[in-house]
């Protein structure tokens, strides 16, 4: 399904509205986000024709967003191999998205446990959890249709995710939520209007970008609220923990197995990705807005910045 001009305009208008709410109180923001959710939410289960055959010439993500684009390895590939690579890469990204969206759901529910049930903040938090459940199902169906494979983080990163999920509080939890969603958003915005990409994947990206703009606004408000009156030691610690979590999430997005499943030499592909200046530049430029917010919130400390630079997010 091709993204229409009206839908694209809705995304732009919605994003502008989110920015305009920045200086309002948390409950007022939540009220507006609830109204936005009721007005703009979409259902991938009915909007996407999951039985429609895939065009064998269409990519899983824009070629320019492939982790190997611009490398010698990419130049050696046939067009069929490039298509297969982007499909497995994006399936991996969506599957890792499911993993951290499940972490986010538990953190939000825990944060709202015994909360003010009558408040708009509580009600939007549960709306966010419901959205994340739908997104995870959408990603699962999309990756199943595209490649029929599931990808998971390494066992070590999976264990770290459980620790983070059970221990993160306040600004660490909500900045973690924001960073994880922004990382996925980076990939999806770059591909959602590219007609070289499978139509149903473009629709998946469009739906997620639209709905996650609300979630990211909510997370920003929670971070700002949590950071009020925070001392130097806590700020340094929180910033470092979030940066390390972000680094693990980002470096887990495209699993080595995805290269193997696409018929490539995984070791060579991973080495090519690490040295790919084009991919690094794309990531850095797309993360500029996130880094600006972290700086504004006092969470882009020197130690944290070093971590972000190491994984090319800064």
pLDDT of residue 256: 98
pLDDT of residue 254: 97
**148: its two tokens:** 């029929």
- Contact by Cβ (8 Å): 178, 223: yes
**120: its two tokens:** 């708009």
pLDDT of residue 42: 86
Phi-psi domain of 24 (left: phi exceeds 0; alpha: psi -120 through 50; beta: other): beta
DSSP 65: G
Q: Which residues of the chain have pLDDT under 70?
A: 1-26
pLDDT tens column, 122-151 = 998 899 899 999 999 999 999 999 999 999
Distance in angstroms (rounded) separating the CA atoms of residues 48 and 191: 17
Task: Tell me if residue 244 falls in helix, strand or coil.
Answer: helix
pLDDT of residue 151: 97
User: How many other β-carbons are positioned within 10 Å of the β-carbon of residue 8?
Assistant: 14
Task: Tell me if residue 197 falls in helix, strand or coil.
Answer: strand
- Contact by Cβ (8 Å): 151, 95: yes
Report the Cα 191 to chain-centroid distance in Å: 13
Q: Kindly tell me the number of DSSP H helices and DSSP E strands found in the chain.
A: 15, 0
User: How many other β-carbons are positioned within 10 Å of the β-carbon of residue 263?
Assistant: 13
pLDDT of residue 25: 62
**135: its two tokens:** 């997104």
Query: Nearest 5°: phi and psi at 58?
Result: -90, 145
Distance in angstroms (rounded) separating the CA atoms of residues 171 and 161: 17
Scored b (16 or more CB within 10 A) or e, 64-92 reads ebbbbbbbebbeebeeeebbbbbbbbbbb
């Amino acid at each position: 399904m091709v993204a229409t001009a009206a839908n694209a305009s809705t995304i732009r208008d919605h994003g502008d509205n989110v920015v305009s709410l920045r200086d309002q109180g948390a409950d007022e923001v939540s009220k507006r986000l609830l109204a936005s959710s009721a007005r703009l939410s979409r259902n991938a289960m009915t909007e996407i024709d999951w039985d429609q055959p895939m065009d064998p010439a269409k990519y899983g993500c824009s070629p320019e967003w492939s982790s190997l684009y611009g490398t010698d390895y990419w130049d050696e590939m046939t067009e069929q191999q490039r298509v297969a690579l982007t499909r497995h890469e994006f399936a991996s990204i969506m599957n890792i998205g499911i993993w951290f969206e499940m972490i986010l759901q538990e953190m939000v529910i825990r944060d709202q446990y015994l909360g003010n049930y009558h408040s708009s903040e509580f009600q939007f938090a549960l709306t966010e959890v419901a959205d994340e459940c739908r997104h995870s199902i959408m990603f699962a169906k999309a990756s199943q249709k595209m490649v029929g494979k599931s990808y998971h983080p390494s066992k070590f990163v999976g264990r770290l995710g459980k620790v983070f999920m059970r221990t993160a509080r306040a600004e660490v939890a909500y900045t973690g939520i924001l960073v994880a969603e922004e990382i996925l958003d980076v990939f999806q915005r770059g591909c959602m209007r590219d007609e070289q990409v499978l139509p149903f994947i473009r629709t998946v990206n469009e739906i997620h970008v639209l709905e996650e703009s609300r979630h990211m606004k909510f997370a920003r408000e929670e971070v700002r609220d949590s950071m009020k009156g925070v001392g130097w030691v806590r700020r340094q610690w929180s910033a470092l923990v979030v940066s390390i979590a972000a680094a693990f999430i980002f470096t887990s997005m495209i699993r080595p197995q995805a290269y193997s499943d696409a018929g490539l030499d995984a070791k060579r592909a991973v080495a090519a990705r690490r040295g790919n200046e084009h991919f690094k530049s794309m990531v850095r430029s797309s993360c500029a807005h996130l880094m600006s917010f972290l700086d504004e919130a006092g969470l882009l400390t020197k130690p944290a910045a070093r971590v972000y630079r190491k994984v090319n997010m800064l």
